[in-house]
Chain A
Amino acid sequence: MHSDPTDLIHRAQQGDRTAFEALYRAHAGRVYALCLRLTADRALAEERTQDAFVRAWERLATFRGESAFSSWLHRLTVNEVLLGRRAERRREQRVVTSDDPAALERPGAADTSSGSALDLEHAVAALPAGAREVFVLHDVEGYRHEEIAELTGIAVGTSKAQLFRARRLLREALNR
C-alpha cells in the first residue's frame, strides 16, 4: 500500500522518522542514480546519497511545496555532490577511468539495461569530471544551462562548452 506523498512529507516535517524513511524508500534509487552518474564512484555515490538524505531531513522545514518534492530533493542532491566534490578536490586528485572496477557496478540494474546503455554509462563515467557533471545534468537529468550555471557556479558559456566537449568525447568512445 502506498502512502500519500503529501501526508508523508507533512509528517516528516513534524519529525516523524518513519514517514521520512518511507520518503527515503521512494526516492533512494533516483537519488543514488544521480549521485552515481555525477561521481562515477560507487562508494562515493553511497556516501553522497546518505549526505543528501541527512541534509533533506535537516532542511525539510524549508520545503514549501512550490515544486515537486522530487525536484527539490534532486536539486539538493546535486548541491551535496558538488559541495562534496569541492571538498574532495581539496584533499586529493581523483582520477576515474573506464577501467575503474568500482565505477558503474550496478547490482540489480544490469539485467534491465541494454548493452548500448551500459556502454554509454561506462563512457559517461570515464569523462573528465567537469564534462561529466554537465552532461549528466543536461542530457540525462534535463536541466537547462542557466540552471546548471546556477548550481555549479560556472558561466552558461562554460556549461555549453563542457557539454559539447562531453558529447564529442562520448561519440569518440562509443564509435571505437
Chain B
Amino acid sequence: MTGPHMATQLNEYVDGTLAAHLRASVEAHLADCAPCRAAVAELRSLSAAAASLPRSIEPGRDLWAGVETRIAQRATWNVQRFRWGAALAAAAVLVIALGLYRLLPPFAAHDRPAGEGAGWATVQADFDRATSELGLIFAAERARLRPETVALLERNLAIIDTAIAESRAALARDPASVELRGLFAAAARQKVELLRWAARVAAS
C-alpha cells in the first residue's frame, strides 16, 4: 500500500513530470518496494488503456438535422437583425440629410436670412433622435465587436460629441451664423456615419 505522498510521486513519475532529483529517489525506492512497482505498472497500464480507447464513437442517431435547423434559424435572425439595423441607420441618415438640406442649401448659404431658429431647432431635435436610435443599435450589438474596436469607436465618438457640444454652444450665442451651422452639420454627419458603420459591422 502506498501513502498519499508516495502515490502523488508515483503518478508524476509515470507522467514524466517529476523533477530529476526526485526521480532518482523514486527509482531507488522502486528497486526495493514491490507494491510500488506494481502500482507503477498498473498506472502505466491504465494510462495506455485510456490513450487507446476509440477516438470516434458514432452517435445513436443523426444529429445533423438539429444542427442544420439551428444554423438556419440563426441565419434568419441575423438577416432580420441586420435589415432592422440597416433600416434604422438609413432612416437616421435621411432625417439628417433632409433637415440639413432644407436649412443649408449651398447656393443659398450666404443669403440665408436670420430668424429660422424654429426650423434649426427641429433639425437639431431630429439629429438627437436619429443618433439616439443609432446609439441604441450600437449598444445592443457592441458585444459582437472586438474590445479594441469598441474602445476606438468610443474615443472617436467622444471627440465628435465635444465638437457638436461646442458648435451648439456657439450657435446658442449666434443662432443665425451659417458658418456655425456648417460646423454643426459636419460634426453631425460624422457622428451619424460612425454610428452607422459601427451598427453595420456589429450586425454583419
A-side residues, CB < 8 A to B, are 17, 20-21, 24-25, 28-30, 32-33, 36-37, 42, 45-46, 49-50, 53-54, 57-58, 105-109, 112-113, 116-117, 120-121, 124, 135, 139-140, 142, 160, 163-164, 167-168, 170-171, 174
Contact = CB atoms under 8 A, between A and B. Distances in A.
Given A21-B68, A139-B47, A163 B11 contact: yes
Interface of B: 7-8, 11-12, 42-43, 46-47, 49-61, 63-64, 66-68, 70-71, 74
27 contacts: A21-B64, A25-B64, A28-B58, A28-B64, A32-B59, A45-B59, A46-B63, A50-B66, A54-B70, A54-B71, A57-B67, A57-B71, A106-B57, A106-B60, A107-B60, A120-B46, A120-B49, A124-B50, A139-B46, A140-B51, A163-B11, A164-B8, A167-B43, A167-B46, A167-B47, A168-B7, A171-B46
Contacts of A33: 54-57
B79 to A, nearest CB: 11
* Chain A, interface SS category: helix
Contact of A121 (B11, B53, B60): B53
A68 to B, nearest CB: 14
Nearest to A123: B46
Chain A CB within 10 A, most for which of B49, B57, B59: B57
